[in-house]
Structure 1
């Protein structure tokens, strides 16, 4: 890499500090953390989205957990040696000021290292801010030729390139950083911006230099799945690519990396595990109630792709495991795949809004026509709630033609809802139930879509008439629920189950809508009811409904499967025993094919792998896993927030849409409809 290229890369990495600093300032402003200094260190302000707040919140809590563990351990160490905190790539972080205000720096000091421009800018900011100077006490600034930019009794800021280890070592020694004192090294999203050899040298240098130390890193991992690929693409676009993820893709590889470099103990967890195991339930509930939130998939996926690691060595820390293993968060790795389902592109026509959307609903109107409505996607060159409908049609069994865009004609307008359901009433009518316009604004009205007869459809598009058809005295105010057609005493009903609402984060309610009269009716249901859930799957079987997975209380994925079984007096809840138990998941879809329940995609947080298709034999209860072979489709393919349509005669499954707002990396939409070939199931016993 030439000098100019290296300088550009360094500038791009420095810009990530500026973005991160504004996010931390927004985090404090919204009450996620107590930090009066973030806004003082960063000029300007930005209001971040709730998803960004959650991501930076769990990062702050994880790093804070490690800092407390170090200080508590260091305080128990024999007196006479001052504890040291060395923050590598510190940027605009306010750690020193927070610790000083809390009285945690008695007998301790902080050194910070970052690029010279970043370090000098921070030193200038401190010097011109009286509230900060009052905490540092008397200080002096270094000249432009010196690496030492700021120095007070217990705080020093140095401008150095972490790739120049000899100069780093000399400058730190000159700034008073000892080799024998208990030392905490912090590197938040730092090593991954270094070339792997430079990062390895830094880890080994730290192990050799400090006799008693704890090295804490927070950074990205899991590059192999769809979210990981989009994450890598985002940082490449910023000219600050992530390095080493192919060599160290998971926490096991990261632990081994530090142990081989001379650290004697090491523990690490991803952010999902940290959030559930190391934060009290009361604190989690406080955070979850700070802002309206409905991006669970991206929250859990972000947490699955970041980890916190603490490596230790020396007398004070040699046996320290900051994140000891526990059965509170069991890792569930599915058995070896029983096979694969080949995927192929169903249609390459993506003109107009197409199927580049998520949070939508789809329904098979006829064997040759699929309707998709709602969701968040691309329309008129921007990302928004999609108001146009989409038709996917075909003239022969295996070739889906380009889409036709439908527009509403008379009656009510489409309100742009997400996370609703659609039920086919006939080949010309569809029922819309539930959904939301925002996390605080449910879509109350029950809608009915009326289509012209198939022979009246033209290539110019299809006009759809939308009418309100609210049953008397009842309108659904939930979303992320499910609807399934069931039968009772030769009458057809729509069974509505679960979901969430503005008032309740998770619902256990169910309702029956009589299809002939469009009236809500009461039908007796016996047996132990499933626990409340949303973002689960539901599909019809033997006149009843199969409910699988979902997100339950405390935002935890579920692995239970229940059958709403028709009986003489109404229905009966039965738990379906599955062996081996399925991995807890949500945001998946489900279908029954030849007596087998297929759970397609979704999000799970208890496994090191990522979901494909789980196949459950409903007669024996045996489950098996199938991977999706994406060799022939554009990668990445995100199989969550999607819809799917089963074509039993062709032994195929169509995946429509999918994706999400991937943390701060941008919004991703699957660009094509994808076909899964299920024919291998028909040959199995």
Structure 2
């Protein structure tokens, strides 16, 4: 039948041609019994009042439920131009129609023997179902006029006034029409001597027979088309045909019967039947008598486009079963289905729409269930094929790349995610049953010509309905895999395709964030929302744009508070080339992009330039105003503007837009690019790793094969369009978007790029479309998002946080605080700002100040610990994290100097470090080991003496690691790790007590992981990733360095230089009592108290299952066995060259060293891929 569009009133009558409106002289086309004022025994209650069909191209909406805002289609310039004059005319029509009484239950063939009992409720339901025809036929007419220009038009005769639909609705109906055309063409093209009959069940006003008879007469030779629908609707359709010469001329010997129901009209190629499909007995009789359907020389195709969906399951199953009784038969069915259940936001909106219209979908389920229904009806399983319309869209056999591109030339289009959601919720089924065909014969499926010739092996048609592909990964999710959603506090603001802006101060990172631009409930926005977990927050403002913007990018410059906004669009054919820099809290317009673009990918880079690192933006791809898709790489600096980056070699990513990109580390020069869409509208399922070399060229490596080999049949969830990549405590996650093969589900719309395992969600379900995600204190903050759900309305996300905490165990602090307008740009702001070296200062695009040898440290990720946190995932991610305000016992208040002296014993002897300077140096031993009484030590520290206690085992300090409970039992009960860190306790190696005065610990790394628990005082820690070790002055075999990274006045070692320090990537944390810092293995670090006294407990634990060196390891920093063995192997290699001349030995040893260094670099790159994305295996 059809579907009503959100905003249209059920019962609207404007779909009728003007010649058939009440008051015209041909109104007699209605049965005499239905003329104004007439009554019949079959008459029911007065018909639903006919009202204007009021959905134009834009600005139409439907409220889905109380807390869902009014939905709109994005304004594109094609506004609803309905005039008051036309509306007045339609009101007259509506008033006249009140006099009309309608009935869908009429005598068959005029053979009524008396009054027919009518069920008023059924009659009303039937009328509502007939009304769905109105919206769909208007939408198809919009498609016909726009997309089939210069072709014969047939929908026009069934629609009184053209209404241009939105691009999303146009494209959706175009795909529906294409799918039905594909199925019918396949049948008509079959080589057979039999008569062919095409029966369109629930045809509505669809002119399917005329589309084929008028456009492809040769293909239709010997074929008969049968239209079947409710009697009243078919009477109207026959009346239109009778009055339209262009239609009658196609039908040879067209005659009408004058009957109210049953056989209404016929010609050589066409038959019109008025029949209620819930009672098909009359239709059986007509088709048997008039067309001899059960004859041996007949091949039949049943077509049903969203008609049996409105029937009860038993009734529609009877239709399927009856169709399967024919000997040579096909069935082409296009209907809705639920690929991820009724609670998916699109599905919920769709179902609510039909419920509101009082035309609920009676038997909607999954594609597999529908296939089983056809098998149960009598169609062979091997002869029943089914695929979603989204699969068909991406199938190059069903639809060529040029056909898809041609659509974009009709009207601008950028509603790709919404189009995919629509197409994913509709399927095309094609079932066949031919005589003499052995469908149980296994090679049959491989040899026959499939309707879906380009089907992928993972589709439902290529595997039995009772089992899944053996290559499909079988996931078993545990509590640690699941992410829980927690909605933000009221109020909510709705927008999608916005961009996040960092807070104005770096200290506020993770505590507040801005959400800028995007598409709101009424229009594109230029405002910026500020979200925070604190009450007192500085509002965040966007740049002064001339108009609202969406699909733009905002890139934060490293760990600074500065950022760059690039590109975006108003409408899909109006891309912006503007770029804006926020420097020192002020927005300045900088150099424009070479070409305006939107849905591009942008990431921050930190270049190791001299004398200070340079913060830059690397940008790739995007789409331009004319629809051109870009493959260029650009890099921006404040001084040079945008420069093209050359890609080395032949291997390079093809052009795309809507891809997702992220760097390997927060301030690195390498990263990955995933997915995106081609100019032909196909989602790319590829995975690229890129590295920016020192000569400013790019090396790209396609690693798709490794990733897809790991995912096997589930590889389709990797390549996405419109997804977001974000760092988290679980590693980097890819969230949302669409794939090219199927719709993502609640189980797999979040993919862990390190393990390549999906991370399912529980709780209130957001729609990960048009959303923005960022890593904040407490989890992942998901802001904005939503979608226009085809013609059914719009669904909006309520912003939320994703984390490990269960409902009731997480205290929501985040909420929307303010919304600020960006204002319009002044003449001064519109001038292009070119940054000078003095503007950059110490931070390079950061705050002003003197040059520093060490890059500004980035704040270590922070979060509040919560029940259910999966700490092993933090350990596996191998990234430091600060757990704030933890419950570690009474020690934070009880461990005063006096208490400790009494509890431990003031006279107890302890070994301490006595330093001569503030910075202790283990390599140069600028301190002494002395033994003091504990009371004396505590008093000295209180008075600011440079002393440091790292507790040792009391019984065997040179053999056993220290343990707080064994070596300090009198205070051990005061300290405890939170139960969420049970993994640490279970794998504990040692737990040293640390008490220090105003001295800094030397730079070192630990082989074992550890958690540093601050008890009293404040302490500053600097950490460096393992990849920085060669820049920090570590001598061979040493686990400590003499480099003073705090930059104190007592000098630094000559083992490193300024350039080396400039290439490091420091991270910083300041710990208060109750804070815990997780320090992964091999992360170089050092500490400095900010007060005279600092007390901490350090818990070391084993995180590797093997690889530790044999023998004792008192301090937890003995290098791994492989490293110790490797150093011995180096000695052996060097000795093997002893017999050669020194210059020859040096030549080859240097070559070997370079080879090893290159392999180490490759391993580091692979390690980045491993730690950030996946353990894929191979080399």
Superposition TM-score tier, normalisation by shorter sequence? 0.7 to 0.9
Instruction: Specify whether residues 530 and 324 from structure 1 end up closer, same or farther in structure 2 by C-alpha distance, changes over 3 A only.
Output: closer
Question: Which residues in structure 2 correspond to 1:76-115 (within 5 Å)?
Answer: 76-78=192-194, 82-101=195-214, 102-103=216-217, 104-115=219-230
2:240 to 121, 125, 149: 125
Q: Distance in 2 between matches of 1:371 and 1:115?
A: 55
User: Partner residue of 2:361?
Assistant: 242
User: Partner residue of 1:563?
Assistant: 689
Q: Secondary structure at the match of 1:11?
A: helix
Question: Which residues in structure 2 correspond to 1:493-642 (within 5 Å)?
Answer: 493-515=616-638, 517=639, 519-521=641-643, 525-526=647-648, 528-542=651-665, 543-544=668-669, 545-570=671-696, 571-576=698-703, 577-578=706-707, 580-581=710-711, 582=715, 583=717, 584-593=719-728, 596-607=731-742, 609-610=744-745, 611-617=748-754, 622-629=755-762, 631=763, 633=764, 635=765, 637-642=766-771
Instruction: Specify whether residues 387 and 142 from structure 1 end up closer, same or farther in structure 2 by C-alpha distance, changes over 3 A only.
Output: farther
Q: 1:579-631, CA deviations, whole angstroms, 9 ceiling, x for partnerless residues?
A: 514422121111234683311122113246524221122xxxx42111112x3
Q: Does 1:344 align with 2:493?
A: no
Higher Rg of the two aligned structures: 2
Q: CA deviation at 1:372?
A: 0.3
Q: Secondary structure at the match of 1:167?
A: helix
- Contact 1:368 1:394 survives alignment (8 Å): yes
Q: Distance in 2 between matches of 1:94 and 1:270?
A: 24
Instruction: Specify whether residues 596 and 348 from structure 1 end up closer, same or farther in structure 2 by C-alpha distance, changes over 3 A only.
Output: closer
Instruction: Specify whether residues 177 and 677 from structure 1 end up closer, same or farther in structure 2 by C-alpha distance, changes over 3 A only.
Output: farther
User: Partner residue of 2:982?
Assistant: none
- Contact 2:398 2:453 survives alignment (8 Å): no
- Contact 2:738 2:744 survives alignment (8 Å): no
- Contact 1:266 1:309 survives alignment (8 Å): yes
Q: Does 1:56 align with 2:173?
A: yes
Residues paired across the two proteins, number: 637
- Contact 2:262 2:283 survives alignment (8 Å): no
2:132 to 16, 22, 40: 16
- Contact 2:137 2:206 survives alignment (8 Å): yes
1:262 to 378, 402, 414: 378
95-104 or 184-193, which moves further after superposition? 95-104
Question: Which residues in structure 2 correspond to 1:350-389 (within 5 Å)?
Answer: 350-351=491-492, 354=493, 356-365=494-503, 366-378=509-521, 383-389=522-528
Q: CA deviation at 1:439?
A: 0.9
2:451 to 302, 305, 323: 323
Q: Does 1:27 align with 2:143?
A: yes
Q: Distance in 1 between matches of 2:528 and 2:294?
A: 66
Q: 1:311-368, CA deviations, whole angstroms, 9 ceiling, x for partnerless residues?
A: 12232877676425656575595542545333323413135xx1x2111111332321
Question: Which residues in structure 2 correspond to 1:37-436 (within 5 Å)?
Answer: 37-73=154-190, 75-78=191-194, 82-101=195-214, 102-103=216-217, 104-180=219-295, 181-208=298-325, 210-223=326-339, 224=341, 225-246=344-365, 249-250=366-367, 252-264=368-380, 265-275=383-393, 276=395, 277-315=397-435, 322-323=450-451, 326=454, 330-331=458-459, 335-336=474-475, 338-339=477-478, 340-351=481-492, 354=493, 356-365=494-503, 366-378=509-521, 383-395=522-534, 412-413=544-545, 415-424=547-556, 430-436=563-569
Q: Secondary structure at the match of 1:357?
A: coil
With normalisation by structure 1, the TM-score equals 0.86
User: Partner residue of 1:459?
Assistant: none
Structure 1: runs of 5 or more not aligned: 396-400, 453-464
Q: CA deviation at 1:85?
A: 1.5
Q: CA deviation at 1:449?
A: 5.4
- Contact 1:89 1:188 survives alignment (8 Å): yes
Instruction: Specify whether residues 482 and 284 from structure 1 end up closer, same or farther in structure 2 by C-alpha distance, changes over 3 A only.
Output: closer
Q: Secondary structure at the match of 1:638?
A: coil
Q: Secondary structure at the match of 2:590?
A: coil
Q: Secondary structure at the match of 2:273?
A: strand
Q: Distance in 2 between matches of 1:518 and 1:237?
A: 58
335-344 or 598-607, which moves further after superposition? 335-344
Q: CA deviation at 1:562?
A: 2.7
Q: Secondary structure at the match of 1:377?
A: coil
Q: Distance in 2 between matches of 1:135 and 1:499?
A: 48
Structure 2: runs of 5 or more not aligned: 1-117, 440-447, 460-470, 504-508, 806-868, 877-1102, 1104-1179
2:796 to 656, 669, 675: 669
Q: Secondary structure at the match of 2:751?
A: strand
Q: Secondary structure at the match of 2:173?
A: helix
Q: Secondary structure at the match of 1:376?
A: coil
Q: Distance in 1 between matches of 2:536 and 2:768?
A: 22
Q: Distance in 2 between matches of 1:413 and 1:284?
A: 34
Q: Secondary structure at the match of 1:591?
A: strand
Two-structure CA RMSD over aligned residues (Å): 2.9
- Contact 1:445 1:468 survives alignment (8 Å): no
Q: CA deviation at 1:376?
A: 0.8
- Contact 2:752 2:758 survives alignment (8 Å): yes
Instruction: Specify whether residues 520 and 67 from structure 1 end up closer, same or farther in structure 2 by C-alpha distance, changes over 3 A only.
Output: closer
- Contact 1:27 1:56 survives alignment (8 Å): yes
Q: Secondary structure at the match of 2:363?
A: coil
User: Partner residue of 2:1130?
Assistant: none
Q: Distance in 1 between matches of 2:125 and 2:691?
A: 61
Q: Secondary structure at the match of 2:551?
A: coil
- Contact 1:600 1:612 survives alignment (8 Å): yes
With normalisation by structure 2, the TM-score equals 0.51
- Contact 2:483 2:759 survives alignment (8 Å): no
Q: Distance in 1 between matches of 2:438 and 2:404?
A: 31
Q: 1:386-442, CA deviations, whole angstroms, 9 ceiling, x for partnerless residues?
A: 2321111112xxxxx79998777xx94452111001123587654321000111111
Q: CA deviation at 1:22?
A: 1.1
- Contact 2:564 2:579 survives alignment (8 Å): yes
Instruction: Specify whether residues 602 and 150 from structure 1 end up closer, same or farther in structure 2 by C-alpha distance, changes over 3 A only.
Output: same
Instruction: Specify whether residues 602 and 427 from structure 1 end up closer, same or farther in structure 2 by C-alpha distance, changes over 3 A only.
Output: same
Instruction: Specify whether residues 96 and 522 from structure 1 end up closer, same or farther in structure 2 by C-alpha distance, changes over 3 A only.
Output: closer
Q: CA deviation at 1:565?
A: 2.5
- Contact 1:488 1:566 survives alignment (8 Å): no
Instruction: Specify whether residues 530 and 146 from structure 1 end up closer, same or farther in structure 2 by C-alpha distance, changes over 3 A only.
Output: closer
Q: Secondary structure at the match of 2:782?
A: strand
Q: Secondary structure at the match of 1:486?
A: strand
Q: Does 1:447 align with 2:580?
A: yes
Q: CA deviation at 1:518?
A: 6.8
User: Partner residue of 2:874?
Assistant: 682
Instruction: Specify whether residues 334 and 536 from structure 1 end up closer, same or farther in structure 2 by C-alpha distance, changes over 3 A only.
Output: farther
